[in-house]
Amino acid sequence: MSTKLAENVEERPEVQEQVGTATEATYNDYLIEKIEQMFNKEEKDAFIVASDKKRPVTIRINSLLEKRNSILQKLSNRGVNIEKIDWNACGAVIYNTEVPVGATPEYLAGQYMLQSPSSMLAVMALDPQENETVVDMCAAPGGKTTHIAAQMNNTGVVYASDNSKERIKALVSNVQRMGVTNTICTVSDALKLLCKNVDRVLLDAPCSGTGVISKDPAVKRTKDEAIVRKLQQQQKKLILKAFDMLSGRKNEGSYMVYSTCSILVEENECVVDYLLKKRNTAKIVDAELPIGKNGFRSYRGFNFHPAMSNTRRLYPHVHNTDGFFVAKIKKTGISTEEQRRNKEEQKKIDEKVKEKSKEKSSKEDAETKKKEGRRNKPFRKTREDKETGEDEIKKENNAGSKRDRSKRDGGKSGSRNKRQKKE
């Protein structure tokens, strides 16, 4: 990583304590309690201070359209102080600029995207390969989706879904701007996705946002225990859905990545541990990420699976990035329980198909009966039909009388002409 971006941003402890104490008053009691459970006094103050500071602007170069060195040179010529991120082949950090980096010709041409380094880590952990089938469950605004497509070199298929009609507009716009051609965008509830037997799934789950307080300071006051508990229930449903979409039939296995921009254990290790208990073919593997601290193996007397140390945590006061959590999970096969669930789901689908076919056939029968009824029904002339018929008869009679008169007139004129010739 760039030295400036990766450097420890902790200040002197006495300064942090003074600033931290003042900033701590802006947090609700629930979040302060959770932060104190995770960090000692010195690290707690460092986290609170760093969370209020703006992170450096970072971009991801679109490898489908341009190379990183070329973009660095172009932006430098425009007055942008930019430096590459060492641990990422397509990332760069911007320290200051004389032009708006979100409106340069290179940006508008889709050659790069504004994206946080922590967000890039999720796709690096997923490691999508060419010609695979990948699902991005909560895809908008499209930073990770377009990164996945670039990693796959526009091969295979990416299903990108989001449940917001407004947010999907940004997703579609970025997909088009970045020259992505292997992605299908849909507006759908992630829990109702019909994808099955896919190679990889990315679930960047909805969360409390406690890792991005610098972007949304309201988090400090609005995210309480009730909201976090509700989010956790949603995350548990989503992670099961994501895992069940994986094929599990490949010899090398299929993979999913679970990530959040939250630092809370309740939204991270607890959710992943829930998956391990519910699905015996789930296995946490090392994401092999270049930065990040190991996930918690124990928390407040509760012991997680030993493999939880393979997950990664990023903190603003340590890595100078957004707070982030990444877990890579492998599906090692198809359990008997999953086979039973698949049969039940297939049975429900077959029943729905039968119901629809019955409805269709009943409608067709009803329409056929109506047509037969019309054919067999005796014809009765209505008043309008009678009047119309009488009018037609009158017209025919008038036309006949006119023809008769023309014949008579024609005969008289013929005899008159003959007499004139004789004379």
Q: Which residues pair with 114 in a beta bridge?
A: 59
Burial annotation 127-162 (CB, 10 A radius, 16+ → b, else e): ebeeebbbbbbbbbbbbbbbbbbbbbeeebbbbbbb
CB 212 within 8 A of CB 237: no
CB 65 within 8 A of CB 178: yes
185, 195, 261, 270: the catalytic one is 261
Q: What whole-number distance in Å separates Cα of residue 119 and Cα of residue 151?
A: 14
Q: Which of 323, 292, 316, 294 is nearest to 9 (CA)?
A: 316
Q: Which of 109, 259, 130, 118 is nearest to 174 (CA)?
A: 109
CB 122 within 8 A of CB 183: no
Strand, helix or coil for residue 196:
coil
Place of tokens 């699902």: 135
Is 138 designated active site?
Answer: no
Phi, psi of 349 (to 5 degrees): -65, -45
Q: Which of 272, 294, 292 is nearest to 283 (CA)?
A: 272
Catalytic residues: 261
